[in-house]
Amino acid sequence: MKLLSTVTTVAFTTMLALGATEVSAQDKEPVRFGLCFDLSKSYTFISPQVAQAAQDLAKYVNSNGGLEGHPVEAVVRDHGNEPQRGVECYEQLKREGIFIFNFLSTPVTNAVLPRVMKDGNILMQSFVGRGDAVDGDVFKWVFPVGPTYWQQAANDVAFIKGQMDGDLSKAKIGFIYLDYPFGQEPIEILKTLAEKEGFQLELYPVPLPGSDQSGAWSKIRRDKPDYAISWLLAGGHVVAAKEMRRNGFPIDRYLSVNWLNEVDINNIGAADAKGILRGTNVAGGQEVPIVKTMLETYYAKGEGSGPESLVRDVYYNTGMAIYSVGFEAARLAIKQNGWPLTPESMKTAYESISDFDGNGLMAPVTVTASDHGGGGKTRVEQWNGETWVPLTDWSADYTDVVWEIIKESSAKFTVK
Partner 1 sequence: MFYRLSGVYHTNYISDSRIYKVPADRNLALALLVLGVAAPFIAPSLYVNSYMLPWLIWTSAALGLNLVTGWAGQLHLGYAAVMAVGAYSAIHAARFGVPWEFALIIGGLSASVIGSLFAFAALRAKGLYLALTTLAMQFIMDWVLTHSPAISGGSHASLQAPTLKLLGQEITSDTGLYYVALAWCLLVTIFMLNLKRTGLGRALVAVREKDYAAAILGVHSFYYKIVAFAMSSFIGGVSGALLVATFFFLAAPEQFSVAVSIQALAMVIVGGLGSIIGSYFGVALILLVPGLVNGVVVTASEQLGMQINVETLAHIPNAVYGALIVIILLIEPLGLGKLYGNIRDYLMVWPFDQLRK
Point out which residues bind partner 1 (CB under 8 A): 10, 13-14, 17-18, 20-21, 37, 39-40, 44, 48, 51-52, 55, 76-78, 80, 82-85, 87-89, 91-92, 95, 106-107, 110-111, 113-115, 129-132, 179-182, 184-185, 306-307, 409-410, 412-416
What is the C-alpha separation between 127 and 154, in angstroms, rounded? 16
Q: How far is the CB of 283 from partner 1 (least distance, A)?
A: 25
When the beta carbons of 132 and 397 are compared against partner 1, the nearer one is 132
CB 64, min distance to partner 1, A = 22
Which residue's CB is nearer to partner 1, number 92 or number 359? Answer: 92
**Shorter beta-carbon distance to partner 1: residue 102 or 409:** 409
Distance CA 266, CA 197 (A): 36
Q: How far is the CB of 360 from partner 1 (least distance, A)?
A: 27
Task: Report yes or no: 316 and 291 within 8 Å, Cβ to Cβ.
Answer: yes
Closest to partner 1 by CB, 117 vs 332, is 117
**Toward partner 1, which CB reaches closer, 300 or 411?**
411
Q: How far apart are CA 342 and CA 122, in angstroms?
A: 10
- Cβ 336 to partner 1, closest distance in Å? 32
Asked if residue 260 lies in contact with residue 276, where contact means CB atoms within 8 angstroms, the answer is yes
- Of the two residues 67 and 310, which places its CB atom closer to partner 1 in the complex? 310
Whole-number minimum distance, CB 184 to partner 1, in Å?
7
Task: Please report how close the Cβ of residue 47 comes to partner 1 at its closest, in angstroms.
Answer: 8
How far apart are CB 378 and partner 1 at their closest, in Å?
19
Residue 218 to residue 116: CA distance in whole angstroms: 45
Report the 10 Å Cβ neighbour count for 223: 13
Angle of helix 187-197 relative to helix 149-163, nearest 10 degrees, comes to: 30
- Order of strands, sheet of 379-383, starting from the edge strand that comes earlier in the sequence: 200-206, 172-178, 227-231, 254-256, 277-280, 379-383, 388-390
Cβ closer to partner 1: 33 or 249?
33
Taking the complex as a whole, the smallest distance from the CB of residue 318 to partner 1 amounts, in Å, to 16
Q: Which lies closer to partner 1 via its Cβ, residue 90 or residue 159?
A: 90
Query: Which residue's CB is nearer to partner 1, number 87 or number 288?
Result: 87
CB of 276 to partner 1, least distance (A): 27
